[in-house]
Structure 1
Amino acid sequence: MALAVVRLLFPAGTCAIRAGSVVQKAAVHSSAARSLRYGWWAYALGERTSPRLNRYSKIICVDGNLASGKGALAQQLADKLGMLYMAEADTFYVDKMTGEKQPLPLSFNGMCSLEKFYTDPKAADGNSYRLQLWMYAMRVLQYSDAVEHLLTTGQGVVLERSPFSDGVFLDAMFKQGYIRKECVEHYNEIKNISICEFLPPHLVIYVDQPAQEVQKKLKQSGKSYLQNVPLQYLQSIEDSYKKSFLPKIRETSELLAYDGSQAQDVERVAEDIEYLKFEKGPWLEQDDVSYHHMRMLVEDKQRVSMLMSIPKFLPEITIGAHDFDEKYYAYRSLPGKKYARGYNEDVGDKYIWLK
């Protein structure tokens, strides 16, 4: 399957790159080739998570329709509260995690295109569902980065959307006839076996921008492929948020909702957060033992990516053994990919025989 290609991209010891920060992790130095990482020995020797957590050690997800203003709110809110801002994951998020200087070809990034989706959402090659499933995977990987950062440093994280809200796009795609019913069933199966491994965000902030206003903003954007996004698709996203996602997420997370103009008042949003008591949700039940197991999961990106891979045939995402083999060797032939990082002469690595 297309997601299986993810496994090619995570050599042992891979760590996510975080905007503007380098996180130091308590661990035991196991070899010269690996960075210090948190592990069983670190926990046995006394490393604990709870002492570094404070009132703002929270994961906040800002949700909303396309061009609703959620990105600006998320970034300003993170600056205001002293939290880490993580921009919305895109189809090239894996490249950011592995530190690529230039994005790798689409064949190593889900074999899907966001631009193609907006220009030809009913493409016969199954691009729409590959994109949806790949974006869910990217959001899961980003969410694991957010949890890892929170538990490792104690600093809270503000995200744009999350894997918990990703289903609104699936609903909209299906309602508009962009994907088949079998794709919806496959997506739900993948989500059911993966999302349960993560705790929901502490707080969800929803920016309510009417679909008509969203369409106007998209037409004014500089991206040509966003000029003709159907109003029905945007309305379906809005409906799915209000009828499906928001009622469900408020059972486990705090929820704040603002219209487009209110969301521009960051001071007001920050003040509203101050008044929240955060008295519900599974985060209240956690202790250092569960934090330990959580950290072990989220730092292992191969393990996280495997949560979203099941052996099931679906034409939109399935590739043959020969095609997969071809992609594997094509990836290994890229500069610096033949051996583990630091052991490739073709990219200037030196003193390899001493490592």
Structure 2
Amino acid sequence: MAWISMRAGVCKILATPSGATAVSKPFLQINLKGVFPLQAACISGSVLRDKNKVRPAPFPYKTKRKLDPELPAAARSFDEKSFCIEPNHEFAASFQILKYQLRYSKYIDALAHLLNTGQGVVLERCVYSDFVFLETMHKAGYISKGAHSVYYDIYNNTIDELMKPHLVIYLDIPVPLVQQRIKDRNIPHEVNSKVFTSQYLSDMEYFYKQRYLKEIGTHSELLIYDWSSYGDVEVVIEDIERINFDKFNKYDTKMDDWKLPCEWDWNTARMLYTNDKDILMYSFLIPRFDVPELVLDAYDAHKFRKIWHNAPGMKYDKEFNPDMGDTNLLFKTKKIDHRSSS
């Protein structure tokens, strides 16, 4: 089984059985031709559709930000588009912490899938490279020293609970070419943003190469390619197939997270990522109230909760909300979703 963390591609998890070349090659073809894409920090709706009937989409106000006019200014949404438009906004720090939290949640899901099925997982970026964005934003002055400290308090309290990837693929693109591809893609908030300067992207490249790759390389296998003119996906796949992930013994530092001594330890890890995701996510609750831009005052918090939890689909548990078309509520039994990421 192989675990791959990739820098460029789309935000998806793909499970591919070992040796499933027919499936893995098209996926890599799509991902390796991605252009340093940005991703939206969105939280999915809390209400799932009934399988046997058509009903409104789960709380469309979340994705459309229609609640923002009603919410206090300090509780409104802030995503990558907002960051590109106004990088000096006070929400920049909480935005990046949320991105780390979302990547952490997805990584747990991927670990659970791998340990339950034995299938490899391909991820675009992961929790281990998230600090690159934090450091780049901090150096550019978009994140304060206090918020920087809070991030690392959270990072250090959470990261050791996970298992590092087997393989990291890094697609190297020169900064001028990255800027050109941003222009070619012609997404208005990216093209017109003052964020993606040569200095900002050069700093990001530095933190990738001088910190992330050096640190993750002590544990994981690395494949680095010059992707200026894209590359041959067949060559990448052949390089992956040549790697022997079983060659490392107990004295090697590489793959150390995957050298559990006995079957019961593997069972414990599988149960942790499958059943105790909520416990792992509680590790984000660090009591730091000394950074104003990360703290919502009591009045705003009360107003936010009142509006948020009375919006369509949010008042009751999923599939128990009349305003979403749910019926037969009196006699309906609750289905517990252990893999919910909410």
User: Hey, what does 1:264 align to over in structure 2?
Assistant: 231
Matched, 1:242 2:209: yes
Matched, 1:311 2:287: yes
What amino acid sits opposite 2:41 in the alignment?
A: T
C-alpha distance in structure 2 between counterparts of 1:113 and 1:254, whole Å? 32
User: Hey, what does 1:26 align to over in structure 2?
Assistant: none
Q: Paired residues, what number? A: 290
Unaligned runs of 5+ in 2: 32-36, 49-57, 249-253, 333-342
**Structure 1 contact 76–266 (Cα < 8 Å) conserved:** no
**Structure 2 contact 40–79 (Cα < 8 Å) conserved:** no
User: Hey, what does 2:6 align to over in structure 1?
Assistant: 62
TM-score, normalised via structure 2 length:
0.76
C-alpha distance in structure 1 between counterparts of 2:160 and 2:125, whole Å? 17
**Structure 1 contact 75–158 (Cα < 8 Å) conserved:** yes
Distance 1:197 1:272, change over 3 A: same
C-alpha distance in structure 2 between counterparts of 1:136 and 1:269, whole Å? 28
Secondary structure at 2:169 match in 1 = strand
C-alpha distance in structure 2 between counterparts of 1:217 and 1:166, whole Å? 22
What amino acid sits opposite 1:62 in the alignment?
A: M
User: Hey, what does 1:340 align to over in structure 2?
Assistant: 317
Distance 1:128 1:142, change over 3 A: same
Secondary structure at 1:157 match in 2 = strand
Secondary structure at 1:95 match in 2 = coil
User: Hey, what does 2:218 align to over in structure 1?
Assistant: 251
User: Hey, what does 1:354 align to over in structure 2?
Assistant: 331
Matched, 1:90 2:90: no
Matched, 1:143 2:107: yes
What amino acid sits opposite 1:60 in the alignment?
A: I
TM-superposed deviation, 1:81? 6.6
C-alpha distance in structure 2 between counterparts of 1:189 and 1:206, whole Å? 27
Matched, 1:114 2:72: no
Counterpart among 202, 205, 214 of residue 178 in structure 2: 214
User: Hey, what does 1:66 align to over in structure 2?
Assistant: none
Within-5 A mapping of 1:75-86? 80=21, 82=23
Give aligned-pair identity as a percent.
33
**Structure 1 contact 88–160 (Cα < 8 Å) conserved:** no
C-alpha distance in structure 2 between counterparts of 1:88 and 1:293, whole Å? 35
C-alpha distance in structure 2 between counterparts of 1:306 and 1:174, whole Å? 25
Secondary structure at 2:223 match in 1 = strand
Secondary structure at 1:238 match in 2 = helix
Counterpart among 263, 272, 275 of residue 297 in structure 1: 272
What amino acid sits opposite 1:292 in the alignment?
A: N
Cα-to-partner distance string for 1:157-201 (whole Å, 9 max, x where unaligned):
111100100011111112111112222111111100011110111
What amino acid sits opposite 2:273 in the alignment?
A: V
C-alpha distance in structure 1 between counterparts of 2:102 and 2:144, whole Å? 22
Cα-to-partner distance string for 1:193-213 (whole Å, 9 max, x where unaligned):
011110111110001111111
Distance 1:263 1:222, change over 3 A: closer
**Structure 1 contact 73–264 (Cα < 8 Å) conserved:** no
Distance 1:344 1:74, change over 3 A: closer
CA RMSD of aligned residues (A): 3.0
